[in-house]
Homo-oligomer: A and B are copies of this chain.
Amino acid sequence: MAQPIDFYFDFSSPYGYFMSEKIDGVAAGFNRKVRWHPILLGVVYAVSEGKPLVDLPLKGDYARRDMARTARFHGIDFHPPTPFPIATQAAARAYYWLHDQDCTLARQFAHAAYRAYFQRGQNISDPAQVVAVAQTLGVDGAALAAALQTDPVKARLKTACADAIAKGVFGSPYVVIDGEAFWGVDRLPQIERWLDTGRF
């Protein structure tokens, strides 16, 4: 069995959201599984000198158009949310807390959180909204709300971000296949060829 693919993303990243709607299906076509790793772009950008796209002169205006067009190109439901971007500690911590109990549920939560924000504008920077999303999947809301405040859950996300930086992750989405890194949903054609042919 081939190694799983690693998929790094921030819950506030539109291109990460687009990739989240595609990567499992693409991987399955080549009998590959995907490990999901939510991270905080703010932490990564402190190392890689990145900035939120929409804050950049000229590029920000382009990015807003490109996000919407890229969603249409891929046939993905996308409604630019406000506020944007947002802090995603709560969503990422919830993901890891769920993952340590039930990895399938964690994957469902990740999809639900991304769709809540990018399809319906639900502000998942608010821990209460994160809990509400999880509750739609049958999660115990009080237990999750309490867990989000605990040091081990906070430490879990810190470790995940540090691990990602150590592996060279500098943006979202960032996909690693057998040691080869692909940044951006626009690398899907190269990802598919890599999975199909191996190194090219």
Contacts and interface: CB of A to CB of B under 8 A. Distances in A.
A183 B73 contact: no
A190 B73 CA distance: 7
B170 A73 contact: no
* Total copies of the chain: 2
A178 interface: no
Given A186-B186, A190-B69, A168 B62 contact: yes
Contacts of A187: 186
Given A57-B49, A73-B193, A168-B58, A65 B184 contact: no
Given A184-B186, A186-B184, A186-B186, A58 B47 contact: yes
Interface of A: 47-51, 56-59, 61-62, 65-66, 69-70, 72-73, 165, 168-171, 180-181, 183-184, 186-187, 189-190, 193, 200
